[in-house]
């Protein structure tokens, strides 16, 4: 019970991000939704870190600004920016499925960037995971629940967040987690802002109840509660914590079917099973 309830709650909340984004982009341009989320979330975390718990030694200095900016560009600007754009083109279930495959991309990126040997089970796990995504998305391409363009945007985002994770692991950070997270979200929003102003449809955004409900859900239950549960699980056992990612596609497809009426087919089930087996092999 020490990990079961936190693990289930983490997977349930983390998988809900795709559905919350789907609702949010019905009222706002995806880039506007992302920027508002980043600015509010980053501001709240920095207010807590530097205002309520002021500590001069916890403030970024020197090369740390460059490290935070690179991390923010990969982890927030590109990854989450492309994620909200892709949600216009793919189903919420596929969005959750792609999020759960991040360990596979991180393994591959580590092998390339850090020259870490790729074990046979990791290679097989990646092949099964990619095959599972292909099987799950095949029928969705036929009935307009997903497009090739959306899948490519999603793939670009997964590559970016995997690079961000490997980059983060290479650095010996002096700063507390809340400071790193707060600044990388805020810097990521600032880097995305020019793109939003130039390419986003700012004027048509409706700041209605649906928009603010989506922003609230993406910030509090997803960015705050789910991440705190994740940190708790990782502190107990990092390997076992990653296993809870396997449940994200299941929750994601359930939410998308229940709240958005997206179809669940035999392809969905087979594809999800392949991804889960692939993740298990790669993490084993």
Q: Which residue has the higher pLDDT, 283 or 83?
A: 83
Contacts of 70 (CB under 8 A, 6+ apart): 167
Q: With cut-offs at 50, 70 and 90, classify the pLDDT of residue 13.
A: very high
**How does residue 56 score in pLDDT terms, banded at 50, 70 and 90?**
low
pLDDT at 54: 66
pLDDT given for residue 104 in this prediction: 73
For the chain, what is the domain count? Answer: 1
Residues 68-121 pLDDT 10s: 999 999 989 999 899 999 988 888 888 877 777 777 777 777 777 767 777 777
Q: How far is it, in rounded angstroms, from Cα 123 to Cα 140? A: 27
Residue 233, pLDDT above cutoff 70: yes
CB neighbour burial string for 21-52, b if at least 16 within 10 angstroms, e if fewer: bbbbbebbbbbbbbbbbbbbbbebbbeebbee
Q: What is the model's pTM?
A: 0.82
147 vs 196 pLDDT, higher one? 196
Mean of pLDDT over the chain: 84
The widest CA-to-CA distance across the chain, in whole angstroms, is 56
Percentage of the chain modeled with pLDDT above 70: 93
pLDDT at 43: 92
Query: For residues 248 and 102, is the Cβ–Cβ distance under 8 A?
Result: no
Question: Do 141 and 89 contact (CB within 8 A), yes or no?
Answer: no
- Residue 90 CA to residue 143 CA, distance in Å, equals 11
For residue 204, give both structure tokens: 């048509």
pLDDT at 38 over 80: yes
Please report the pLDDT score of residue 209 as a whole number. Answer: 94
Please, which residues have CB within 8 angstroms of residue 272's CB and are 6 or more apart in sequence?
Answer: 97, 132, 136, 249, 250, 253
Domain that holds residue 268: 4-283
């Amino acid at each position: 019970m020490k990990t079961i309830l936190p693990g289930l709650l983490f997977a349930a909340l983390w998988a809900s991000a795709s559905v919350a984004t789907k609702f949010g982009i019905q009222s706002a341009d995806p880039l506007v939704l992302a920027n508002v989320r980043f600015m509010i979330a980053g501001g709240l975390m920095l207010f807590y870190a530097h205002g309520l718990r002021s500590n001069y030694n916890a403030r970024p200095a020197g090369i740390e600004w460059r490290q935070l900016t690179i991390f923010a560009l990969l982890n927030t600007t590109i990854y989450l920016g492309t994620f909200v754009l892709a949600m216009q083109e793919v189903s919420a279930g596929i969005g959750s499925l792609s999020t759960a495959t991040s360990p596979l991309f991180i393994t591959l990126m580590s092998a390339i960037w850090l020259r870490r040997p790729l074990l046979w089970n990791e290679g097989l796990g990646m092949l099964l995971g990619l095959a599972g995504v292909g099987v799950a998305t095949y029928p969705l391409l036929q009935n307009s629940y997903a497009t090739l363009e959306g899948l490519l945007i999603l793939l670009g985002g997964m590559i970016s967040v995997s690079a961000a994770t490997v980059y983060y692991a290479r650095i010996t950070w002096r700063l507390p987690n809340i400071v790193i997270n707060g600044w990388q979200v805020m810097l990521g929003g600032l880097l995305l802002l020019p793109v939003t102003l130039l390419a986003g449809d700012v004027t048509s955004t409706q700041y209605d109840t649906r928009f603010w409900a989506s922003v609230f859900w993406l910030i509090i239950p997803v960015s705050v509660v789910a991440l705190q549960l994740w940190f708790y699980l990782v502190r107990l056992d990092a390997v076992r914590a990653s296993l809870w990612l396997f449940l994200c596609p299941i929750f994601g497809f359930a939410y998308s079917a229940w709240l958005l009426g997206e179809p669940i087919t035999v392809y969905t089930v087979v594809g999800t099973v392949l991804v889960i087996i692939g993740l298990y092999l790669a993490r084993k």
